């Protein structure tokens, strides 16, 4: 079966996504789309130049929305990072731009006949993911945002560096908005299968500082190079592969929560058709309140830009 992925947006993140897909041989066909034709054409040529030195071959199509009809996954990486301020970390700075772009892009996706899974990276992730579902008309389970899959990874890194262990030995989730109202659900976090709350009681581990570090991880990267790309691109490609492989993996991604009536990050089983089912967590009362606060914040901004 041919594996086909579309990448919309060929900026810092989109081009990194495309390179990872091609270099690792994750797709047989790649469709690259960007309004800046010179940039996306150049990226495509550059990737083709890489192929003679790779053990894989990927057929690349440029700026053809009709080619998305039989794609398995579309990754949305469109955005305008220049709207982000070097003085503060606020992904909503891009919303006036991305909320307009998502309308025209969704219409073209709809016209192509695409019926796969959309993976949204574009910021603010939860709001734009919701808009993609609204404007494409795809079932809610087929529209997903990377959400706190990246923030959870940042939390795992923060904890692993503090405890001097491999981050893959740390398990747990950041939940809610991919933004400033997100939080680490410490009740879900363990290190070598030992609850981190127990470790914190036995040591001087500062959970509040680790939570803050995970939340501000993106801005730390942004402040040094004025964009982020590797972390979020890896999260997006991992999510795309979970869909392609129907691996039924539990991931903290932005998905529609019926009880909260909003898209936000919460663990879900992901497979070939996107979200298979939500994975219930036993959150503390404090964590549940933080989740509700995050949901309210996202909904308020959805309402503002839907009017």
Active-site residue, selected from the candidate residues 12, 19, 164, 178: 178
Cβ within 8 Å of residue 262, ≥6 positions away: 126, 130, 256, 295, 298, 299, 302
The β-bridge relationship of strands 183-191 and 194-195 is antiparallel
Clarify whether 19 is annotated catalytic: no
Q: Is the dihedral of CA 124, 126, 127, 130 positive or negative?
A: positive
What is the 3-class SS of 220-251, one letter each residue? HHHHHHCCCCHHHHHHHHHHHHHHHHCCCEEE
How far apart CA 240 and CA 218 sit, in angstroms, is 21
Task: Look at residues 266, 297, 40, 37 and name the one whose alpha carbon lies nearest to residue 147.
Answer: 266
Catalytic amino acids? 178
């Amino acid at each position: 079966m041919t594996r086909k992925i579309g990448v919309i947006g060929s900026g810092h993140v989109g081009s990194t996504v495309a390179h990872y897909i091609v270099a690792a041989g994750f797709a047989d066909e790649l469709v690259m789309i960007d309004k800046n034709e010179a940039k996306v054409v150049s990226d495509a040529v550059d990737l083709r130049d890489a192929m003679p030195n790779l053990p894989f071959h990927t057929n690349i199509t440029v700026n053809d929305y009709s080619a998305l009809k039989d794609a398995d996954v579309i990754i949305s990486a469109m955005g305008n990072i220049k709207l982000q301020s070097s003085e503060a970390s606020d992904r909503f700075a891009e919303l006036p731009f991305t909320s307009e772009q998502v309308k025209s892009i969704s219409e073209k996706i709809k016209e192509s006949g695409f019926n796969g899974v959309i993976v949204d990276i574009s910021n603010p992730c939860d709001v734009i993911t919701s808009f993609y579902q609204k404007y494409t008309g795809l079932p809610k389970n087929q529209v997903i945002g990377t959400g706190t899959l990246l923030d959870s990874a940042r939390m795992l890194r923060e904890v692993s560096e503090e405890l001097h262990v491999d981050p893959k030995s740390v398990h747990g989730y950041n939940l809610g908005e991919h933004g400033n109202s997100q939080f680490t659900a410490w009740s879900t976090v363990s290190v070598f299968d030992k609850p981190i709350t127990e470790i914190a009681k036995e040591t001087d581990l500062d959970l509040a500082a680790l939570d803050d570090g995970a939340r501000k991880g993106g801005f730390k990267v942004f402040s040094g190079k004025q964009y982020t790309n590797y972390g979020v691109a890896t999260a997006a490609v991992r999510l795309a592969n979970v869909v392609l492989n129907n691996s039924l993996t539990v991931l903290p991604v932005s998905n529609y929560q019926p009880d909260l009536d909003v898209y936000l990050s919460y663990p879900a089983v992901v497979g070939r058709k996107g979200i298979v089912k939500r994975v219930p967590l036993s959150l503390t009362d404090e964590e549940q309140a933080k989740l509700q606060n995050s949901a309210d914040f996202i909904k308020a901004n959805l309402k503002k830009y839907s009017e």
